[in-house]
Every structure is written in structure tokens, then in C-alpha cells.
Amino acid sequence: MKASGTSILCEPIGGFQNLDDCEDAIASGKADLIGGARAFFVDPDYYQKAKEGRGEDVLPCVRCNKCHVPSLTGPWLSFCTVNPEIGIAHKLSKLTRPAGAPKKVAVVGGGPAGMRAALYAAERGHDVTLYEASDRLGGQLKLMDAPTFKWPLVNYREYLIAQLKKTGVKICLNTKATPEVLVPEHYDVLIAALGATPKLPPIPGAERAKTVFETFGREAEFGKKCVVIGGSESGTEAGIYLAENGHQVTVLTRQEGLALDATPIHYRETIQEFYAALPNFDFIPHAAATAVGDGWVEYRDAEGKLQRIACDSVVALGGMEAHQEEAMALYGCAGDFYMIGDCRTVGNIHTGTRDAYSVTHQF
């Protein structure tokens, strides 16, 4: 529109949040104004932060479009994956308490739920220590560096890490929190955010398959022809990832299509458009995997007949195992104990963020 020489103001909208990108669009003359919706939804202080040039403090929208969905099934109360106050603003005074006297708080687990809990607790004036067993913060979000299409989650992870550094939360990496580590510190509050790990499906030979944790970033360990057992959003993403990396991929799904659990508004279609453009990606609907063998996967097709598909490598999705027992082993290590995120019940960033918000607003 600008190139056509129009004299009216041009205001593009859609996906603008990064302040450097907005600045570039205006400074280069491509736009006169920038419009935005989700940027303000995620971070109500977006305008103020923009004015102050604090791009690094803008909470990133992860572009999941889940804010569009709840109105399909119930009263129009939206929610946001990363802003837990959306949808409950009208009852916050009943759900939360003003911050009490400063407490000594331990958060175990440096995934998105644990990091968010540590940030909230620190913002509320508590003395917070975050324990992470591995050498890096991020939990499952550490896997997101490898796929080209998970960059919004990388941005979110890096935002959390940067904010943690700013708040002065003590971070203990390479430290598995055990009662021996925690009890001598006399914490008032312990927040367990130990996460979850993937399970393989209960079919014969499943131990030959790899989990999604063993897929992202590890495509070199896969042979040319790959079968993915499970066509959920996660299975579809694993298939897309392998196809993007040159593998010949077939996804088996019991459903009639792929990623049917993905957000239906402008998100599932994006996934579908993505794999449709990959010539080396295919899927078989109504196919229930029954066994994995040496160089093959067996499945029951739509007519109930057993079929075999030859392959070099298999990824299998059998759900996630919450680290609930490991978390419960820490019960009694501090005055108060809370369990949040995937270790409480397997969920996603939204559920873990809501957990982090609600427990840290009780003390």
C-alpha cells in the first residue's frame, strides 16, 4: 500500500510485538503505525514498556491462539497461555492474597512452571532459590531450539531466564533437590515443579521406538524412513521435524486427521499447511499401531485388517508420566508444600503458569 503512493496512514496488524521489529517497520517507512491485540493481552504494560524502550521486559506472546478458543464452548471468558490473570480478572481479589511477610522459598525444577513461580515469589518480596537438576534452565522448553517452528517458545524461555537474572533469584544448576539438600536450608515454602517425561505406548516392541524427547535435535540418530505412532499435535510436530530434516515420514493416527487436539482457530490450519507443503510427509488415518518390530510397524487399518509398514526408525507417543512421586518425596522438607505444573498433572505452559500464579499468590 505504501509503495502505491497512498496518502492515507497505513497500520499493519498481526504478529507485531517485538519492539525492534515495530521500530524497523515504522523507521523504514513501510508503516505509519503498528496495530496489535495479543501483545496487550499478554502484557497489559506493553505500551508503557514500549514508551520506555524496555523491549527485553515485554512478556512474549507464544502465538498459540488459545485466547481465541474458550468462547466456543462456554461464557466469553478468554484465557492466555502466559498471562494467567486473563479470564479471572473479575475474581482476582477472591483468589489471591496480598503478599505476606517475606519468606524463604525453594522452587524445585527450572521448567516454565518453576521459573514462573520463582519470578512471582521474588516479585512479591520473598527470598527465592531455584533448583535445577540439569545444567540449563528451561525444562521441556530446552527441546524447542531444534525445530524451526517452535521459536515463540524459545523466546518465552529466554525471557523467563533473563527476568530471573534481573530479580536476584538464586539459581542452583546441576543440583538435584533432595531432602538432604533442602531440609538443612529451613525453607518456609517449597514449590515442586519437577515436570514430566514421555511414556511409550503399551504395545509389543514399543521399547524399540524413541520418545519425542529423543527426537528434537537428535535427527541424526534416525534412519531415512521414519514412522511416527500417534498423530496428536506433538506427534505431528515430531513428524514435521523429521521431514524438515530430510527423512521420509509416515504418521499413523487413530483419528481421521492430524493434530486434532491443536487449537482450532488459525493454528491447526497452520500445522496442516506446514506438513501439506512437505513432499516427504504422509499420514495414515484410522490406523491403530499394534506392534513394533525390527524394521517394521504393524497397525490395524480402517477396515480392521492388520497391515505392516517398513521403516528404519520409529517415534512413539504414549502420553506423559508426571513426576508426582518424586515431588511427594519432598513433602515435609519445608513448612508449606505446593506441587505445580506437569508434575501435579500433565498439562502445558498455560496450566503450569496458572499453577505458578495461584500458589505464589497464597503467601
Q: List contacts with ligand FMN (CB under 6 A).
A: 13-16, 36-39, 41, 67-68, 78
Sole window of 60-68, 99-107, 194-202, 287-295 interacting with ligand SF4 (rule: CB under 6 A): 60-68
Q: Is 177 in the site for ligand FAD (CB under 6 A)?
A: yes
Instruction: Select 15 or 204, whichever has its Cβ closest to ligand FMN.
Output: 15
Q: Does 66 bind ligand SF4 (CB under 6 A)?
A: yes
- Per the CB < 8 A criterion, the answer to whether 140 and 343 are in contact is no
> Given the DSSP bridges, would you call strands 306-310 and 296-300 parallel, antiparallel or unpaired?
antiparallel
Q: Of residues 128-157, which lie at the interface with ligand FAD (CB under 6 A)?
A: 131-134, 139-141, 143, 153
- Is residue 262 a contact residue for ligand SF4 (CB under 6 A)? no
Distance of CA 151 to the CA centre of its chain: 11
292 binds ligand FAD (CB under 6 A): no
Query: Toward ligand FAD, which CB reaches closer, 20 or 180?
Result: 180
Residues 6+ apart with CB under 8 A from 24: none
Nine-digit cell string for 131: 533448583
Q: Which stretch binds ligand SF4 (CB under 6 A): 38-46, 172-180, 211-219, 293-301?
A: 38-46
**Under the criterion CB under 6 A, does residue 81 sit at the interface with ligand SF4?**
yes
Q: SS3 for 200?
A: coil
Phi and psi (nearest 5°) for 342? -60, -20
| Residue 227 Cα distances to 132, 221, 285, 287, angstroms | 34, 14, 13, 12
Choices 36-44, 115-123, 227-235, 325-333 (CB under 6 A): range interacting with ligand SF4: 36-44
Q: Which residue intervals of the chain are DSSP H helices?
A: 19-27, 38-42, 46-51, 92-95, 112-123, 151-167, 179-182, 233-244, 268-276, 324-328, 349-360
From the list ligand SF4, ligand FAD, ligand FMN, none, pick the one residue 36 interacts with, judged by a Cβ distance below 5 to 8 Å according to partner type: ligand FMN
DSSP 283-320: EETT-EEEEEETTEEEEE-TTS-EEEEE-SEEEE---E
Does position 109 bind ligand FAD by CB under 6 A?
yes
246-267 CB burial, b ≥16 within 10 A, e <16: ebbbbbbbeeeebbeebbeeeb
Q: Does 342 bind ligand FAD (CB under 6 A)?
A: yes
Q: How far is the CB of 38 from ligand SF4 (least distance, A)?
A: 4
Q: Which does 14 bind (CB under 5 to 8 A by kind): ligand SF4, ligand FAD, ligand FMN, none?
A: ligand FMN
Q: What are the Cα distances from residue 10, in Å, to 21, 34, 262?
A: 16, 8, 33
Query: Among ligand FMN, ligand FAD, ligand SF4, none, what does residue 66 contact (CB within 5–8 Å per kind)?
Result: ligand SF4
- Closer to ligand SF4 by CB, 80 or 171: give it: 80
Binding residues for ligand SF4, rule: CB under 6 A, are: 38, 41-42, 61-67, 80-82
